[in-house]
């Protein structure tokens, strides 16, 4: 293979005079090339002409083509120490200058976007999409929640030592190679074999537009879906956490749904990006029956992992309310959910310990629940709405119970669970609990209380299935 073959190949790919090309390359991939790295650079420049530009990344380990280009007398290097680029040709300086002023390494104002705006191309010469740095520009434009910041001591363009931070900086792992087929199918990329190398030529502006479109649809579009990839598991958790942070409600999960053992629950909650847990069962034991020391340890373990306890749920009204309230205070649990019963007279005991009591409907209609609530909690109406409870009482939870009970004033929590009229537990929105309607109506009034997955009811699947089902529920409202 000769230099002229390369020139012909580049022209066949669609390159012409005055074009700007950002090249990522492997010289060796060309195979049996009769020439040097400089011949490859010259081949590009003979196609692009003196008014075009050939640009290469000069960060990380440099390949031989990159080294040679950077070493050229007329090479212009962008001033930023992150995402640094070097280029030759008439248009290089235009697109590469001002990199220091850009607030992000790859995003707005950076050379990457300038090259795209100038109608430039990304050329992957014998390397794959993993090397396509401009895809980080799409992540930065989207301000994806898993992106971090990068701080380093460096010299400003005048040579003064400064410490600078770049935001929306790329994460540790991504799945850019998984985007290759999308680019191929969308027609923004030409692929041609030149020598032994697969050479890809991508229209940069259209690539960014396509990626931003993908990212708007799914912020995890650039991440891998390998459950063993700790980096992408963490980055996906950041995406979900931000999504929930943008909701008015707070999201919690029952400990029974989260797992059997505390470390297991912590691992799952962290991987999902959920920051609250409701204690009902731990290791198959009712938390309400545990002693203060045991509860304190559990609360402490969660706290250390950055997870707060949203409430402790007892399925029976405690016999010794004073002892129970004292135990909650000692364990550091400020909120308790109890079944709504007419016989409850422990309000004063909990109030004394500064523990909030919320009541959840059991087998009763909305009218009965509202009446009982007004009786046992005349001062403080705090209600946990359990759709399963109303289904078991034969009432349509949204169409009848929600409206009849006028729970808007008193609602502190919506238990996210579902079941059928014959009592079978079901995934969210797959039973008669009208959970989709209940979530939707509470979103519409910016409900700021809790939504608790698996609260007050078992779930017919594991934790991951429940989070997936809930995400789907939100996606389809
Ligand atoms: Zn990954």
- Produce one character per residue of 447-456: b if its CB has 16 or more CB atoms within 10 Å, e if not: bebbbbbbbb
Q: Tell me how far the alpha carbon of residue 183 lies from the centroid of ligand 1, in angstroms.
A: 20
Q: What share of the chain is helix, strand, coil (3-state, %, to 5)?
A: 40, 20, 40
- Res 224: pLDDT: 96
316 Cβ neighbours under 8 A, 6+ residues apart: 288, 339
Q: Output the CA 176–ligand 1 centroid distance in Å.
A: 10
Ligand 1 centroid to 96 CA: how many Å?
Answer: 31
The neighbourhood of ligand 1, an ion, using CB within 5 A, equals 173, 224, 229, 232
Instruction: Read off the pLDDT of residues 401-429 as tens digits, 9 standing for 90 and up.
Output: 999 988 988 899 999 999 999 999 999 99
Tell me: the pLDDT tens digits for 352-405?
Answer: 999 999 999 998 999 999 999 888 876 666 899 999 999 999 999 999 999 998
What are the chain's domains?
A: 3-217 (no CATH), 247-475 (3.20.20.150)
Ligand 1 centroid to Cα of residue 173, in Å, is: 5
CA torsion angle 299 304 310 314 (round to 10): -20
CA of 223 to the centre of ligand 1 (A): 6
Cα(172) to ligand 1 centroid in Å equals: 8
- Cβ contact 361:340 at 8 Å: yes
Residue (of 421, 409, 321) closest to 370 by Cα position: 409
For the chain, residues with pLDDT lower than 70 are: 378-381
| 473 CA distance to ligand 1 middle (Å) | 26
pTM of the model: 0.89
Reading the block at residue 431, the tokens are 């039973």
Query: Residue 343 Cα, ligand 1 centroid: separation in angstroms?
Result: 54
Per the structure block, which two tokens stand in for 12? 């066949």
Q: Within its chain, how far is the Cα of 2 from the centroid? A: 48
Tokens of 54: 């050939």
Q: How much distance in Å is there from the Cα of 227 to the middle of ligand 1?
A: 8
Q: To which H or E segment does residue 389 belong?
A: helix 387-392
How confident is the model at residue 457, as a pLDDT?
95
Cα–ligand 1 centroid distance for 237 (angstroms) = 12
Closest by CA position to 286, among listed 329, 315, 243: 315
Q: How far is the CA of 222 from the centre of ligand 1 (A)?
A: 9
**Average pLDDT score, the chain:** 95
Distance 205 CA to ligand 1 centre (A): 26
What is the reported pLDDT for 406? 87
Cα of 242 to ligand 1 centre, how many Å? 19
Per-residue tokens: 296: 């304190």
Assess contact for 52 and 43: CB atoms under 8 A. no
Ligand 1 centroid to residue 272 C-alpha, Å: 15
Burial of residue 88 (CB within 10 Å: 0-12, 13-18, 19+) is buried
- At 282 the pLDDT is 98
Centroid of ligand 1 to alpha carbon of 216 (angstroms): 20
Q: How far is the CA of 454 from the centre of ligand 1 (A)?
A: 29
């Amino acid at each position: 293979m000769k230099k002229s073959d390369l020139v012909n190949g580049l022209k066949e790919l669609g390159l012409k005079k005055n074009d700007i090309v950002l090249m990522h390359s492997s010289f060796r991939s060309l195979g049996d090339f009769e020439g040097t790295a400089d011949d490859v650079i010259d081949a590009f420049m003979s196609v692009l002409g003196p008014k075009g530009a050939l640009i290469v990344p000069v960060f990380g380990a440099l390949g031989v083509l990159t080294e040679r280009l950077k070493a050229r007398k007329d090479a212009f290097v962008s001033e930023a120490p992150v995402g640094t680029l070097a280029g030759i040709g008439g248009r290089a300086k235009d697109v590469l200058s001002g990199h220091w002023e850009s607030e992000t390494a790859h995003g707005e104002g950076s050379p990457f976007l300038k090259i795209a705006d100038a109608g430039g191309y990304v050329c992957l010469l014998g390397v794959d999409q993993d090397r396509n740095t401009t895809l980080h520009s799409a992540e930065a434009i989207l301000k994806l929640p898993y992106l971090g910041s990068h701080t380093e001591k460096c010299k400003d363009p005048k040579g003064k030592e400064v410490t600078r931070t770049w935001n929306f900086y790329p994460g540790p792992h991504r799945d850019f190679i998984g985007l290759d087929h999308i680019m191929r199918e969308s027609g923004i990329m030409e692929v041609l074999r030149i020598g032994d190398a697969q050479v890809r030529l991508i229209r940069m502006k259209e690539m960014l537009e396509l990626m931003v479109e993908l990212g708007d649809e799914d912020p995890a579009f650039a991440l891998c879906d390998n459950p063993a990839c700790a980096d992408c598991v963490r980055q996906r958790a950041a995406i979900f956490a931000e999504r929930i942070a943008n909701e008015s409600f707070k999201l919690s999960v029952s400990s029974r749904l989260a797992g059997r053992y505390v470390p297991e629950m912590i691992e799952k909650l962290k991987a999902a990006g959920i920051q609250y847990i409701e204690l009902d069962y731990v290791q198959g034991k009712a938390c309400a029956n545990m002693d203060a020391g045991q509860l304190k340890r559990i609360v402490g373990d969660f706290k250390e992992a950055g997870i707060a306890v949203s409430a402790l749920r007892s399925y029976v009204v405690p016999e010794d309310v004073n002892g129970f309230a004292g135990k909650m205070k000692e364990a550091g649990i400020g909120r308790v959910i109890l079944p709504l019963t007419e016989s409850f007279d422990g309000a004063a005991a909990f109030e004394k310990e500064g523990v909030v009591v919320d009541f959840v409907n059991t087998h009763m209609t909305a009218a009965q629940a509202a009446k009982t609530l007004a009786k046992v909690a005349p001062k403080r109406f705090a209600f946990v709405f359990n759709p399963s409870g109303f289904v078991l009482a034969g009432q349509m939870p949204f169409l009848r119970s929600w409206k009849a009970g006028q729970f808007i004033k008193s609602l502190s929590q919506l238990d996210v669970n579902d079941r059928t009229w014959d009592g079978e537990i079901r995934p969210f929105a797959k039973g008669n609990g009208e959970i989709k309607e209940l979530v939707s109506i509470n979103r519409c009034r910016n409900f700021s209380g809790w939504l608790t997955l698996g609260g007050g009811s078992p779930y017919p699947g594991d934790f991951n299935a429940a989070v997936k089902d809930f995400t789907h529920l939100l996606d389809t409202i």
